[in-house]
Chain A
Amino acid sequence: MAETDIAELLKIAARMRGKVIEMVAASGAAHLASAMSCLDIVVAAYWRILNLDAAKAADPLRDRFILSKGHAASALYAVLAERGFFSKDWLDTFATHGAPLAEQPAPGCAPGVELATGSLGHGLPVGAGHALAAQIQKHDYQVLVCMSDGECNEGTVWEAAMFAAARKLQNLTVVVDYNKWQATGRSNEIMQLSPLREKWAAFGWKAVEVDGHDIAALVDALDRSRQEAGKPTAIIAHTVKGKGVSLHGG
């Protein structure tokens, strides 16, 4: 990627971080740190990877982005509004009484939100269903699922991992936002996650590791995942929980 291109994405990411902080501060919603850790992933996907048209949010041929870690919905909402899927005014009422955008997404709550998430371990099976449907219907859209590392505790993640590899779902990519912390402790102490890349590789996936805040590296890894033939791709994105907020050490 050209330096100017990288600089532009960094500016966008910084602006999105500011917006998410405003939304969370105004509403008193939780999970700011989780939104911050995946924000660069979401920006890289929506500005450089996904084939989407905000004017045709339900186009059957669109790429699908599923934020399986629904608790980070503020990041997704900020990005979708910036990309024109709905009015930026909606962000101002985030998580307030009667507002369209709840703390975690409800079904059909806003154009561009593919799935109501919040219960972990649902995004990857559903994403695999979209990917398999593309193969059946001979469509060439791609499916991108962003999960948290704590989410990898869920058994359905590994059921879906085996299924996707067996079905050779090359149009499916998962990004694990590996920020090393889950709700109440370190991800590698609560459950044995490590070695995470090797686990995905052992499940039959093309598995790579990137710095989840190096936007050029993210774009490159996501771009390569779309070229991968014969298997799904897992991108283990090393991130910092609360990235961009000094209180969080990011």
Chain B
Amino acid sequence: MRNAFADEILALARQDPRVVLLSADIGNRLFDKLKAEFPNRFFNCGVAEANMIGVAAGMAQSGLRPFCYTITPFITYRCMEQIRVDLCYHHLPVTVVGTGSGLSYASLGGTHHSCEEMGMLRLLPGLTVGGPADAPELRALLRDSLNQNGPVYLRIGKKGEPEMHSAVPALKFGQSITLREGKDACILSIGTVLPVAMAAAEKLAGQGISTRVVSFPTLKPLDEKCLQEVFSSFKVVATLEEHSILGGLGGSVAEWKADHPELNARLVRLGTPDEFLHLTCEQEEAREHYGLTAEGIADRIETLLRLA
């Protein structure tokens, strides 16, 4: 995914002279092509993320379109106030991109995990929050970032994520994409955990349960049209994210549902619990630890359907 990011930024830089990329001392060699072609459009801001966000704000005020890039917890938790004051309060068109989101860097420990940042950031007024599932969705949202007149946050994976789309989809912020049709249950999935949702639907099909899978890459603004439709059509709707069930997609949809008491579908929030992960493990094992597997998800949905 990060290779697609570098490639797409280069393409955007070629199209739009306002595009500049700031990184905080990561991505060694990743941006070599951009640096070679536009030496004055890439800046390594050093291990000083908060300053990087402020610099991006000044650049945006002076007419540029900065993208800021580093590892998710450092560009979000550490820069919360800069994102809030410099970017959101001034409503500046800066795109903040966190790489290695969720449990991508499970093995590096809790300092490198980010299972709370979507919940924190979505509270900021005027901030668009997205989590593309794969490289094609990332490319679509990066392109749409340039259509926004305010700040954007994108949480992305690291590398080698399976591609769920054969081409760049016609996707804009606030929209979702149905990847598999179904009639009993529906899974709304944000981010790189989408292949697990697809596998869970396959597993449920084996049990005679038909499951729709929707890639739901924008946390804010929510695709309310999609929510209205699925909560009217299915008995069970599950949200899936590599993020805490508090405040992220599950939290957002639960809030939305509270405002729509006429809708009867049951909501189940699948994600990480309210805790730090202390297990030494890789990303896939971390997902297993939290039941974010085809089996785990299928079990939860099947149980709920029986109760519904």
Q: Chain A: residues with CB nearer than 8 A to chain B?
A: 60, 107, 114-116, 119, 122, 124-137, 155-156, 159-160, 162-163, 166-167
A167 to B58, CA, bound (A): 15
Given the interface pairs A135-B40, A163-B46, the reply to whether A128 lies near B85 with Cβ below 8 Å is: no
A160 to B48, CA, bound (A): 8
Closest to A138 in B: B40
Given the interface pairs A126-B54, A129-B54, A163-B48, the reply to whether A114 lies near B61 with Cβ below 8 Å is: yes
> Chain B contact residues (Cβ within 8 angstroms of A): what range?
20 to 34
B61-A125 in contact (CB<8A): no
Main secondary structure of the interface of B (DSSP, over half): helix
B51-A132 in contact (CB<8A): no
A200 to B253, CA, bound (A): 50
B48-A122 in contact (CB<8A): no
**Residue among A107, A124, A128, A166 making CB contact with B90, cutoff 8 Å:** A107
B46-A122 in contact (CB<8A): no
A116-B85 in contact (CB<8A): yes
A97 to B154, CA, bound (A): 38
A163-B41 in contact (CB<8A): no
A124 proximity list for chain B (CB < 8 A): 54
B91-A129 in contact (CB<8A): no
Given the interface pairs A129-B61, A135-B40, the reply to whether A160 lies near B54 with Cβ below 8 Å is: yes
A162-B59 in contact (CB<8A): no
Given the interface pairs A129-B61, A137-B62, the reply to whether A163 lies near B55 with Cβ below 8 Å is: yes
A60 proximity list for chain B (CB < 8 A): 62-63
**Residue among A126, A128, A136 making CB contact with B20, cutoff 8 Å:** A136
Main secondary structure of the interface of A (DSSP, over half): helix
**Residue among A107, A116, A119, A130 making CB contact with B58, cutoff 8 Å:** A130
A128-B61 in contact (CB<8A): no
Q: Which 9 pairs of residues, A with B, have the shortest CB-CB distance?
A: A129-B58, A125-B54, A133-B62, A159-B51, A159-B48, A129-B55, A126-B58, A130-B58, A129-B59
Q: Is B101 an interface residue (CB 8 A)?
A: no
B90-A163 in contact (CB<8A): no
B63-A133 in contact (CB<8A): yes
B58-A127 in contact (CB<8A): yes
Q: Contact mask B60-99 → A, CB, 8 Å, 1/0?
A: 1111101000000000000001100110011100000000
A162-B46 in contact (CB<8A): yes
Closest to A124 in B: B54
Q: Is B56 an interface residue (CB 8 A)?
A: yes
A122-B64 in contact (CB<8A): no
Chain A: minimal CB distance from B55 (Å): 4
Chain B: minimal CB distance from A250 (Å): 31
